[in-house]
Amino acid sequence: MNIDELYQIYARYPKVITDSRKAWTHSIFFALKGELFDGNDFAAQALASGCNYAVVDRPELVTDNRYILVDNVLTALQELARMHRKKLDIPVIAITGTNGKTTTKELIKGVLGEKYAVYATSGNLNNHIGVPLTILAVPPRAQIAIIEMGANHTGEIRELCDIARPTCGLITNIGKAHLDGFGGSDGVRRAKKELYDYLNEHGGMIFYHEENPALAGMLEDAKAETIGYGREGKSECWGKTLSASPYLQVELHIDEESFRISTRMAGVYNLENLLAAACVGDQFTVPASSIADALSVYTPQNSRSQVFRTARNQLLLDYYNANPTSMSESLRNFFEHIQGPKMVILGDMFELGDEAPQEHAAIVDLLLPQNGVTRVVVGKHFYEAAKNAPGIIAFGETGELKSWLISNPPSGMFILVKGSRGMKLEQLTEFL
């Protein structure tokens, strides 16, 4: 079946699913393949559970007209999304960066939602599958779409831009993450810049942090319209931190108005995310007071800078993901702004390739001077980096750390828990 025919079917059944367990009526199942599964094997189940059609790429499965045979299911999904995007006559804001993508996306969604019907990426569906699914899920009533874009290799952001066709874009920052896929820090910079390149080529609009030299340096010859935000009052949207112990309080300036905002977010590093959202809202003519209101009520989810109180301790949970940049920023914020007895529990940072040993060692170096803090690390790389470090408690596996916490339960402490998702640090919270 060609893409025009498939789009006609999608127009009648606009709900696209890739998990047969979530099948329902008026939907189309796309039989995607993964490392450990082949969605084609679940096509019949999806149809039996209520899907109207199943898009497959194995001819032997086609037993009736509910099966749509294509050469490649993933390619068909992406082409369908590309066609649907061309029919959406709305602004599309793309967000990428090493850290803060999802938080910034949610903040912008909240701000723009004060005035517009906004549709944004759900969770972190930000890759070559998630972006097409997001585009296809944009409802007819949406006035603005916000598309988060992640990448682990060069060229991926460009591919996502070709599908999503953003009219505006924002890079939160450029740091150290997915170094094995990008081939080092220079590769990260080139990959993120692909968003700027697309917007320059297509006459888009770029929001950027003026005091970030990496971002500003990539815009010296920009053809797109550029709109900056910062901390020093040079921009129409700027602000400064008033307190972060643990919740972030900021002084926010939008045009000629100023606001003191008490947020529900932890960490001074979130100031940049707040300013980005304010800048986007201001450009889209959201009233300044409405911007301030939206920023003050946003509550982090999914263990991203979440403050959580147990019966014995107060926790700062930040184990949704981790890389050297976010880890060092979290530690500096924690050591500088949190008062009283403190403890840090750090898990390995993944996808660093050959640079993993030195990057974990650099984090251990940040821990060494903090003699008044209980310092615990876990994971293969952290164990090797810290096993002989004075005053640092090191474990090779999360299970070993769990047993230690059961025998040595902390009490009366403020505890930072941070690491990559693969370390499964969420298993520890019941013992804290």
Domain of 23, CATH number, reads 3.40.1390.10
Strands 118-120 and 92-96: unpaired
Residues 248 and 310 in one domain: no
Residues 326 and 279 in one domain: no
Domain count, the chain: 3
pLDDT at residue 305, rounded to an integer: 77
pLDDT (tens digit, 9 = 90+) per residue, 312-351?
A: 999 999 887 788 988 998 999 999 999 899 999 999 999 8
Torsion angle of C-alpha atoms 394, 317, 273, 358, degrees rounded to 10: 10
* H helix intervals, 38-129: 43-48, 73-86, 101-112
Residues 6 or more apart in contact with residue 314 via CB below 8 angstroms? 246, 307, 308, 413, 414, 415
Say which residue the tokens 């059961």 belong to.
Answer: 406
Residues 262 and 113 in one domain: yes
Residues 59 and 161 in one domain: no
Asked if residue 10 has pLDDT above 60, the reply is yes
pLDDT at residue 425, rounded to an integer: 93
Residues 31 and 120 in one domain: no
Asked if residue 56 has pLDDT above 70, the reply is yes
Asked if residue 178 has pLDDT above 70, the reply is no
Look at the alpha carbons of 162, 164, 167, 171 in this order and tell me if their dihedral is positive or negative: negative
The sheet with strand 414-418 has its strands ordered as 306-309, 314-318, 414-418, 342-347, 373-378, 392-395
Residues 146 and 22 in one domain: no
Q: Of 254, 273, 297, which residue sits at a domain end?
A: 297
Looking at the domain assignment, is residue 80 inside a domain?
A: no
Look at the alpha carbons of 7, 11, 13, 14 in this order and tell me if their dihedral is positive or negative: positive
Looking at the domain assignment, is residue 75 inside a domain?
A: no
Looking at the domain assignment, is residue 113 inside a domain?
A: yes
Residues 102 and 205 in one domain: yes
Return the CATH number at 96: 3.40.1190.10
Mean pLDDT for the stretch of residues 280-296: 97
Residues 264 and 322 in one domain: no
Residues 57 and 116 in one domain: no
Rounded Cα gap, residues 28 and 8, in angstroms: 12
Strands 257-266 and 247-254: antiparallel
Higher pLDDT, 23 or 277: 277
pLDDT (tens digit, 9 = 90+) per residue, 58-117?
A: 999 999 999 999 999 999 999 999 999 999 999 999 999 988 889 999 999 999 999 999
Residues 270 and 327 in one domain: no
Strands 342-347 and 314-318: unpaired
pLDDT (tens digit, 9 = 90+) per residue, 243-255?
A: 998 899 999 999 9
Q: Of 36, 70, 104, which residue sits at a domain end?
A: 70
At 184, is the pLDDT very low, low, confident or very high (cuts 50, 70, 90)?
low
Rounded Cα gap, residues 376 and 363, in angstroms: 12
Domain that holds residue 425: 306-431
Looking at the domain assignment, is residue 78 inside a domain?
A: no
Higher pLDDT, 221 or 293: 293
Residues 150 and 210 in one domain: yes
Mean pLDDT computed over every residue of the chain:
92
Q: Of 230, 262, 297, which residue sits at a domain end?
A: 297
Residues 293 and 311 in one domain: no
